[in-house]
């Protein structure tokens, strides 16, 4: 039996943005991530403004798994294949499975 985390991060990030299973994730996304949700709001701050993720408290200590999850998250944020509100909901769902708590938003450094 697949867990939510397994389903969420089973896709493959596409070379120019997107995730191979993004349509399936939209269909499976729990209702609590649709509309106003703190996880989804944080995901959109990262999407619109970028940000520093050094303060993230990951659920896993496995660096390979973290890298895979972050790749899926970035792939999803880069998609043009799904509606924005679906991207927002699924991105929040992903973060809720990746992290043990919603981090405080920290802007990224300007180059």
> How high is the pLDDT of residue 111?
38
> How high is the pLDDT of residue 1?
44
Is position 58 within any domain?
yes
> How high is the pLDDT of residue 108?
78
Is position 47 within any domain?
yes
What domain range includes position 55?
A: 18-62+71-111
- 98 CB burial (10 A radius; 0-12, 13-18, 19+): buried
Is position 36 within any domain?
yes
- What CA–CA distances, in Å, run from 26 to 13, 57, 65, 86? 15, 25, 22, 6
Taking only the tens of pLDDT, the chain with its 111 residues reads 455 666 789 999 998 889 999 999 999 999 999 989 999 999 999 999 999 999 999 999 999 999 999 999 999 999 999 999 999 999 999 999 999 999 999 987 543
Q: How many residues does the chain have?
A: 111
Residues 6+ apart with CB under 8 A from 39: 33, 92, 93, 95, 96, 102
Q: What is the pTM of this model?
A: 0.90
Is position 89 within any domain?
yes
Is position 23 within any domain?
yes
Is position 4 within any domain?
no
Is position 7 within any domain?
no
* Domains in the chain, number: 1
Handedness of CA 85, 89, 94, 95 (dihedral sign): positive
> How high is the pLDDT of residue 7?
78
């Amino acid at each position: 039996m697949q867990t939510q985390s397994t389903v969420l991060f089973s896709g493959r990030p596409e070379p120019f943005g997107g995730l191979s299973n993004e349509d399936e994730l939209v269909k499976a996304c729990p209702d609590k991530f649709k509309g106003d949700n703190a996880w989804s709001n944080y995901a959109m701050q990262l999407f619109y403004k970028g940000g520093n993720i050094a303060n993230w408290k990951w659920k896993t200590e496995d660096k390979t798994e973290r890298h895979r999850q972050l790749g899926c998250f970035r792939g999803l944020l880069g998609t043009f294949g799904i509606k924005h509100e679906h991207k927002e909901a699924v991105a929040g769902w992903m973060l809720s499975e990746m992290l043990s708590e919603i981090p405080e938003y920290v802007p990224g450094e300007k180059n």
